[in-house]
């Protein structure tokens, strides 16, 4: 599985970079607390809504994806790999690759580098058209840290949203579910 190899490389690079920072006398980043990027989430009639607030003093860049609830444990491991790289304080190709792994297999990538202003918030939506009553959410936000001379600091986190799925007998207006699929199959 691609995640395992990249995560192992990413964690190794993060550990080496952290040792390099501490050995050279330069600062290394600390992961921010989840209170830096609080969220609220809901699931109603198959529509997932996640509101993320940026409580930092700089503009945040955020990634958000919706996954099957059964993927939560694996997503937490992926978030740990992302956090290991964020802790180096440096944007890198390895971080980009581990971010891609975190989004792999997502039912929906809602944000891919969304900007949220200082003390601002943004809400991501997905009208799933699915009957699922629970999903795992991957959220990552980063901000620059010019005071410490770091490119980024931030946090990747995973949490669950529960609620009501789309009723199988209600009309599908999302373009993602059964009626769109049925007509697309008949016409295509």
Tell me the HSE value of 62 on the side-chain side, using a 13 A CA sphere. Answer: 32
Q: What is the pLDDT, as a whole number, of residue 26?
A: 36
The pTM for the full model equals 0.77
What is the arrangement of strands in the sheet containing 121-127, beginning at the earlier edge strand? 39-44, 47-53, 121-127
Spatial separation of the C-alpha atoms in residues 161 and 48, rounded to whole Å: 8
Q: Give 70-76 contacts, CB < 8 A, sequence gap 24+.
A: 70/136, 71/105, 71/136, 72/136, 72/158, 72/160, 74/3, 75/102, 75/136, 75/138, 75/158, 76/158
Q: State pLDDT tens for residues 127-174.
A: 999 999 999 999 999 998 877 777 899 999 999 999 999 987 665 555
State the average pLDDT for the chain: 81
Spatial separation of the C-alpha atoms in residues 80 and 82, rounded to whole Å: 5
Q: How confident is the model at residue 22 (pLDDT cuts 50, 70, 90)?
A: very low
Query: How far out from the chain centre does Cα 67 lie?
Result: 10
Q: Answer whether 133's CB lies under 8 Å from 43's CB.
A: yes
Q: What is the pLDDT, as a whole number, of residue 170?
A: 60
Least confident of 27-36, 88-97, 132-141: 27-36
Q: Answer whether 136's CB lies under 8 Å from 110's CB.
A: no
Q: Which residues contact 2 (CB under 8 A, 6 or more apart)?
A: 101, 104
Q: Which residues contact 8 (CB under 8 A, 6 or more apart)?
A: none
Q: Stretch 74-85: mean pLDDT, rounded?
A: 97
């Amino acid at each position: 599985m691609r995640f395992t190899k990249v995560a192992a490389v990413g964690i190794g690079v993060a550990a080496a970079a952290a040792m390099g920072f501490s050995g050279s006398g330069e600062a290394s980043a600390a992961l921010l607390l989840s209170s830096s990027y609080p969220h609220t989430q809901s699931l109603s009639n198959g529509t997932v809504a996640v509101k993320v607030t940026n409580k930092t003093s700089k503009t945040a860049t955020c990634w958000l994806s919706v996954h099957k609830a059964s993927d939560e444990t694996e997503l937490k491991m992926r978030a740990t790999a992302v956090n290991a790289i964020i802790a180096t304080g440096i944007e890198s190709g390895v971080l980009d690759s581990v971010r891609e792994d975190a989004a792999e297999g997502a039912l929906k990538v809602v944000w891919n580098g969304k900007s949220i202003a200082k003390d601002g918030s943004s809400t991501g939506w997905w009208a799933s058209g699915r009957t699922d009553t629970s999903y795992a959410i991957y959220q990552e936000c980063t901000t620059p840290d010019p005071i410490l001379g770091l490119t980024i600091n931030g946090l990747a986190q995973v949490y669950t949203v529960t609620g009501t799925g789309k009723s199988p007998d209600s009309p599908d207006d999302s373009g993602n579910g059964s009626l769109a699929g049925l007509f697309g199959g008949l016409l295509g």
